[in-house]
Amino acid sequence: MSRLRLLQRDEAPLPARSIYGADGSASPLKRSLANAPDLLETLLPFLGQIYDEGAVDLATKELVVVRVSQLNACRYCLAAHRPLALEFGVDEQQLAAVCDEIPLDSLADRERTIIEWSDRYVLDPGAITDELVARVLDYLRDDQMVELAILIGATQMLNHFCTAFDVPPTA
Partner 1 sequence: MSTQTTLETAVEEGRCGDRLWLYATYHCNLACGYCLTESMPAIANRRTLSAETMIRVVREAQELGFGAIGITGGELFMLPGAAETLAEIASILPTVALTNATLFTDRLLARLEPLAELDIALQISLDSDEPDRNDAFRGPENFAKVERAIPALLERGITVRIATTVEDQTEDELARLCVLHRSWGISDDDHIVRGVVRRGRAELAGMGVTPGVTDILPELTITADGAFLHPFGPTVRHGVTDLDLLVSRQVAPLERAAERFLRLVSDQPVGTDVARNIR
Closest distance to partner 1 from the beta carbon of 1 (Å):
15
Minimum distance between the CB of residue 38 and partner 1, rounded to whole angstroms? 5
15 and 9 in contact (C-beta within 8 Å)? no
Q: How far is the CB of 14 from partner 1 (least distance, A)?
A: 6
Residue 2, C-beta contacts closer than 8 angstroms, at least 6 positions apart? 28, 32, 165, 166, 167, 168, 171
Q: Which of residues 35-54 bind partner 1 (CB under 8 A)?
A: 35-38
Q: Is 24 in the site for partner 1 (CB under 8 A)?
A: no
Residue 155: CB minimum distance to partner 1, A: 25
Core vs surface per residue 27-62: b (16+ CB within 10 A) or e: bbbbbbbbeebeebeeeeeebeebbeebebebbbbb
d(CA 29, CA 104): 29
CB of 142 to partner 1, least distance (A): 36
Tell me the window of 6-14, 65-73, 91-99, 140-148 that interacts with partner 1 (CB under 8 A).
6-14
CB of 43 or CB of 132, closer to partner 1? 43
160 contributes a contact to partner 1 by CB under 8 A: no
Site for partner 1 in 76-135 (CB under 8 A): none
Query: In this structure, are residues 119 and 112 in contact, taking their beta carbons and an 8 Å threshold?
Result: no
Task: Give me the helix-helix angle, 58-71 and 142-164, nearest 10°.
Answer: 40
Distance CA 90, CA 92 (A): 7
Question: Per CB under 8 A, does 11 bind partner 1?
Answer: yes
* Number of residues near partner 1 (by CB under 8 A): 13
Which residue in 4, 12, 95, 122 binds partner 1 (CB under 8 A)?
Answer: 12
Interface ranges with partner 1 (CB under 8 A): 5, 7, 10-15, 34-38
